């Protein structure tokens, strides 16, 4: 079989949020498979000019909108949209996030194709009761039930971005024999060590992430209050935006923590911040609704950039670092342990320099996006060309 007739439809409802550059990079890293990115709406946040994009638009008439809305519930799609996608000659539909898989399933059924679903985190971490109570919106009340019905379909398989997330998916009710682990990886040609040598950098701790409960930034602020009492020159830089920004800003001020809130930054600007920091910290927690970090690709970006990491992220803390070699993990919400690790690292330039060197090599070997995507293509081959599911 040649690459020309190995086509996958990569599905996401909205194309594409700026936080999902990893989907674009995974598509660009495909070698043996041709990808067509399919969705229902263009967001105009990420440049998609270098991708093959198809927008399945149900908004042209009232009848289209009604057909699509009803069709999603019963697993069918408008015939015109099915004909347009059938012309691509695809062998597989690959949906990102289980929430979107419910909309990708009618496409897979209409085209008679297997469906592969990558689970990223909130889609199976969030408690079923939270969805069923309508907290995700009225239309998502039945999401857990519909997902589990989808999971038993013989044409459907799942990928989890970490082993920890795979275990969460099993607890959610997805059959264990239908879930494999597939790390996403990062572009290690973009994230490389740079900036001043570690010993010449200010004692700066960097956080990058959405300012929401599960990212745990408040625990880092609490820890930095202890760090700055021991190391008065230590500083915290927070990159990201979200509903908790003002609350966190106030917490830092009332705690006397010197913290700079940069807001949301581009990937290039984040790299610049990494090049000026001694430590990257992702103090993720399990949120009150059960949501938790699936992996935390920013951990890989930091290590690839030569910045040691400290994290409590689900998946990332056990699978995304080499403990004591490229970074350290700690139990979520354990402010004392976090402060102790940060103080120890900021006081030891030698261990920081050693970790910086090991981190870049570790990510290049284990998590380069090309290597990870090559393994993904083997999974594509197994689904389409191997034994029947």
**Domain holding 302: CATH number?**
3.40.50.2000
In the chain (389 residues long), the average pLDDT of successive 10-residue segments reads 75 90 94 94 88 79 62 63 86 96 92 96 93 92 95 96 94 96 93 92 96 96 98 97 96 96 91 96 94 90 97 88 95 97 96 95 95 96 70
Q: Is 190 a domain residue?
A: no
Q: Do residues 214 and 333 make contact, with C-beta atoms less than 8 angstroms apart?
A: no
Cβ proximity of 13 and 103 under 8 Å: yes
The answer to the question of residue 258 being in a domain is yes
| pLDDT on residue 73 | 56
pLDDT at 1: 43
Of 67, 39, 69, the C-alpha closest to 53 is 39
Based on the domain organization, do 206 and 136 belong to the same domain? Answer: no
Q: What is the pLDDT of residue 124?
A: 94
Cβ-contact 165, 4 below 8 angstroms = no
Residues 268 and 357 in one domain: yes
Query: In terms of domains, do 179 and 204 share one?
Result: no
Cα–Cα separations (whole angstroms), residue 116 to 2, 77, 184, 330: 21, 18, 15, 33
CA distance 282 to 247: 18
The answer to whether 150 and 156 are in contact (CB under 8 A) is yes
The total of structural domains in the chain comes to 2
**Helices in the chain by DSSP H: which ranges?**
21-29, 62-74, 79-86, 98-111, 122-125, 128-132, 143-151, 163-172, 217-230, 245-255, 267-274, 297-304, 316-319, 335-346, 349-366, 369-385
**Same structural domain for residues 122 and 205?**
no
* Closest among 222, 205, 211, 237 to 345, alpha carbons compared: 205
Q: Same domain, yes or no, for 175 and 116?
A: yes
61 & 25 share domain: yes
Instruction: Look at residue 317 and tell me if it is in a domain.
Output: yes
Q: Is 191 contained in some domain?
A: no
**10, 60: one domain:** yes
What secondary structure does DSSP assign to 189-205, as a single string?
TTS---SS-GGGS-SEE
- Domain boundaries, position 261: 198-366
In a domain, 193, yes or no: no
* 248 and 171 together in one domain: no
CA angle 189, 322, 195 (to 5 degrees): 40
Task: Please tell me the total number of residues recorded for the chain in this structure.
Answer: 389
Q: Residue 192 domain-assigned?
A: no
Q: Please indicate, yes or no, whether residues 213 and 355 belong to a single structural domain of this protein.
A: yes
pLDDT the model gives residue 229: 97
Do 161 and 53 lie in a common domain? yes
- Assess whether 274 and 314 both reside in one domain: yes
Residues 154 and 272 in one domain: no
Closest CA to 156 of 21, 11, 17, 29: 11
The gap between the terminal CA atoms of the chain, to the nearest Å, is 20
Examine residue 170 and state whether it is found in any structural domain, yes or no.
yes
């Amino acid at each position: 079989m040649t690459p020309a007739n190995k086509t996958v439809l990569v599905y996401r409802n909205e194309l594409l949020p700026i936080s999902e550059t990893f989907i674009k990079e995974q598509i660009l890293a495909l070698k043996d498979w041709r990808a067509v990115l399919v969705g229902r709406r263009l967001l105009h946040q990420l440049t998609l000019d270098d991708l093959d994009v198809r927008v399945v638009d149900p908004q042209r008439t009232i009848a289209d909108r009604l057909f699509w809305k009803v069709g999603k519930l019963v697993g069918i799609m408008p015939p015109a949209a099915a004909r347009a996608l059938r012309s691509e000659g695809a062998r597989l539909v690959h949906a990102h996030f289980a929430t979107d898989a419910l909309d990708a399933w009618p496409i897979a059924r209409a085209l008679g194709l297997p469906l592969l679903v990558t689970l990223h985190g909130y889609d199976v971490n969030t408690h079923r009761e939270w969805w069923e109570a309508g907290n995700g919106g009225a239309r998502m009340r039945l999401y857990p039930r519909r997902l589990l019905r989808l999971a038993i379909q013989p044409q459907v398989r799942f990928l989890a971005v970490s082993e920890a997330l795979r275990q969460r998916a099993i607890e959610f009710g997805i059959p264990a024999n239908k879930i494999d682990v597939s790390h996403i990886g990062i572009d290690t040609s973009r994230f490389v060590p740079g900036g001043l040598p570690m010993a010449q950098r200010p004692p700066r701790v960097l956080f990058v992430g959405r300012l929401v409960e599960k990212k745990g930034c408040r625990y880092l602020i609490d820890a930095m209050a202890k760090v700055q009492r021991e190391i008065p020159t230590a500083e915290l830089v927070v990159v990201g935006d979200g509903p908790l920004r003002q609350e966190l800003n106030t917490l830092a001020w009332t705690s006397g923590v010197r913290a700079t809130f940069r807001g949301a930054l581009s990937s290039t600007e984040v790299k610049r911040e990494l090049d000026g920091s001694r430590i990257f910290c992702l103090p993720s927690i399990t949120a009150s609704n059960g949501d938790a970090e699936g992996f935390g690709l920013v951990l890989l970006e930091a290590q690839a950039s030569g910045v040691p990491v400290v994290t409590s992220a689900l998946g990332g803390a056990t699978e995304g670092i080499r403990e004591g070699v490229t970074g350290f993990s700690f139990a979520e919400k354990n402010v004392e342990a976090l402060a102790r690790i940060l103080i120890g690292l900021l006081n030891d330039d030698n261990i920081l320099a050693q970790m910086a060197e090991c981190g870049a090599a570790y990510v290049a070997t284990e998590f380069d996006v090309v290597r990870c995507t090559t393994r993904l293509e083997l999974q594509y081959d197994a689904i389409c060309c191997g034994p029947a599911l």
